[in-house]
Amino acid sequence: MRITICLLLLANLAFAQKNDIRLKGMDAEIDHILKAYNAVGMSVAVVENNKVIHMQGFGYRDAEHQLPVTPNTIFPIGSITKSFTASLLGMLEGQGQLSLKDKPSQYIPALKFYSNEMDNHIAIDNLLSHTTGIGNADGSYILFPAESRLALMPRLQYLQPDGTPKDRWIYSNMGYIIAGTIAEQVSKQSWEQNIEQKIFTPLGMSSSGTSIAAMSKSADYAFGYGMSNGKVEKVLFEEQENARPAGAITSTASDMVKRLNIWLNNGSIDGKTILPEAYVQEAISFKAIDNGHPPDASEPGVYLFGYGYGWRVNSYKGHYKVQHGGNVSGFSSQVVMYPTDKLGVVVLTNQTNSILPYVITDLVASRMLKLPRTEWNKYPVKVSDINVVSKEIKGIDTEKKPTHVLADYSGKYANPGYGTFEIVNEANALYAVFPKHKLRLEHQHYDVFVLKATEEIPQNMNPEFCMNFSVNDDGDVAGVSINLQQEPVKFLKQEKE
């Protein structure tokens, strides 16, 4: 029966493509663009008026063994996860278990923000719309992972924000970690269980998951790649653990179109309600403005960029566009909806830090909606090189040498919003030893060093942070500031035990 259904689906897709003039020649065009970007593989799906009208894999999920991408190939989808996490809160609100206007601390007593102003003004909806002011605090959980998301919460009171609550839009993964933790506390289930039981299972998203470990057990998943000196290189997966509510879901094009149909039908499909209609409308409305500037002369129909709850929104050539991208080590993806046109597009790729998904979703939209074309070769084709481990060890700048001998910098350094790490002196070189990573300190000038990887790490974790050591009144090394946030984070040197 399953084989018969699959054959019928493929036949229907082939029929739809053959007879829809808007799709004529699209696969060949996508193949050409894929090669121009030196991308390894991609999966594309298009839905319109509740029907999957096109679904196709391109290239390889595994370049080494030339295993092809199919519509059922699993890809990490990165920050597209955010709309899933926000949906959990929308469901809980629909059930009367919370309000998006509630304070986060009502559900996480251990949570306090950096200031009373933040405590008094931040509501759950600010977490979802990136208007808390928290900003980028990724180093707190990447370099210093906690045993659980709940264990991260007490750190928030020590994390200096990048802005003022409700003042402006500032993207923050930490906001979504908090949101996921609220869902856990209210439901008495883990975020992973919530996603599985409340979204994947009801929608039949049987190939989707919440971790790289689970994905790796599948027979059909993609490896991640990037470019280095003009060559395609395989890169490491990024297992997020603490940050799963912000970007850990893995999925397929065939699964993602099931979810798109829910959003394009106000939260329901075939008489079954998955998301409250009121929440769907709020989630795809402007809650914050990212860029309200007049449009560029080259694209006068593309303007007014904002954010809802886990979704970006903007005006696109006369149509209301709702979308979100996802970028994790080795993978770039985008999901796009045009709600008033009942059109949705999914593009999943295994190329790191790539604009390719945006090029393809624009291509599909221009065909489906008969819009003026932005030719693909007008986009920047260059794909930035991946981070590689430097084999060269730069020595001390003798003209601007450190103020102390290297041994004086050794010791443990701590910040309550992050954690404790140790600097060690090995073979006349300094290394920073974090809970899961060991990074080399490369001297720049005087008491300024830059962290360098000593072994391959996931691409989204660029370790090249600047470290600026400071001394106390006695002239002893007393701390180090690291540019982990908008303002450098100060770690104090600990007394020897």
Residue range 82-105: average pLDDT? 99
Specify whether 87 is located in the same domain as 232: yes
Dist. CA 101–CA 17, nearest whole Å: 45
Structural domain total, the chain: 2
CA-nearest of 320, 380, 378 to 354 is: 380
| Residue-level pLDDT at 18 | 52
Query: Which of 338-347, 387-396, 457-466 comes out lowest in average pLDDT?
Result: 387-396
Tell me the per-residue pLDDT of 306-327, one tens digit each, with 9 for 90 and over: 999 999 999 999 999 999 999 9
Mapped onto helix, strand or coil, the DSSP state of residue 213 is helix
Is the pLDDT higher at 414 or at 464? 414
The CATH number for 93's domain is 3.40.710.10
Residues 41 and 108 in one domain: yes
Residue 469: other Cβ atoms inside 10 A: 23
CB 232 within 8 A of CB 38: yes
As a whole number, the mean pLDDT across the chain is 93
412 forms beta bridges with 422
Report the half-sphere exposure of 484 (CA within 13 A, side-chain side).
22
Q: Are 358 and 334 in contact (CB under 8 A)?
A: yes
Residue 83 inside a domain? The answer is yes
Same domain? For 476 and 353 the reply is no
Domain shared by 372 and 420, yes or no: no
Residue 393 lies in a domain: no
What pLDDT score was predicted for residue 275? 98
Is residue 348 located within the same domain as residue 475? no
Is 396 within a domain? Answer: no
Where do runs of H (alpha helix) occur along 122-211? 124-129, 138-142, 149-152, 173-187, 191-195, 201-203
Q: Reply yes or no on whether the pLDDT at 51 is more than 70.
A: yes
Give pTM, 2 decimals. 0.94
Question: What was the pLDDT predicted at 190?
Answer: 98
The answer on 353 and 429 residing in a single domain is no
pLDDT in tens, 159-205: 999 999 999 999 999 999 999 999 999 999 999 999 999 999 999 99
Query: Please, what is the Cα angle at 196 between 193 and 201, to 5 degrees?
Result: 140
The CATH number of the domain holding residue 479 is 2.40.128.50
What is the C-alpha to C-alpha distance for residues 362 and 338, in angstroms, rounded to an integer? Answer: 12
Residue 11, in any domain of the structure: no
Q: Is the pLDDT of residue 4 over 80?
A: no
Structural domain contains residue 237: yes
Summarize pLDDT for 338-368 with one digit per residue, the tens: 999 999 999 999 999 999 999 999 999 999 9
Vertex 209: Cα angle to 332 and 141 (nearest 5): 70
Q: Would you say the C-alpha torsion 107, 173, 154, 288 has a positive or negative sign?
A: negative
Q: Which helix (H) or strand (E) holds 256?
A: helix 253-263
Same domain, 443 and 344: no
Provide the residue range defining the domain that includes 225. 24-386
Residues 73 and 197 in one domain: yes
Q: Is the pLDDT of residue 385 over 90?
A: no
**437 and 380 housed in the same domain:** no
pLDDT at 11: 35
Residues 188 and 108 in one domain: yes
Whose CA is closest to 280, among 249, 254, 313? 313
Whether residue 381 sits in one domain with residue 411: no
Q: pLDDT category, 2, cuts 50, 70, 90?
A: very low
Check pLDDT > 80 for residue 16: no
Give the pLDDT mean for 11-19.
46
Residues 159 and 223 in one domain: yes
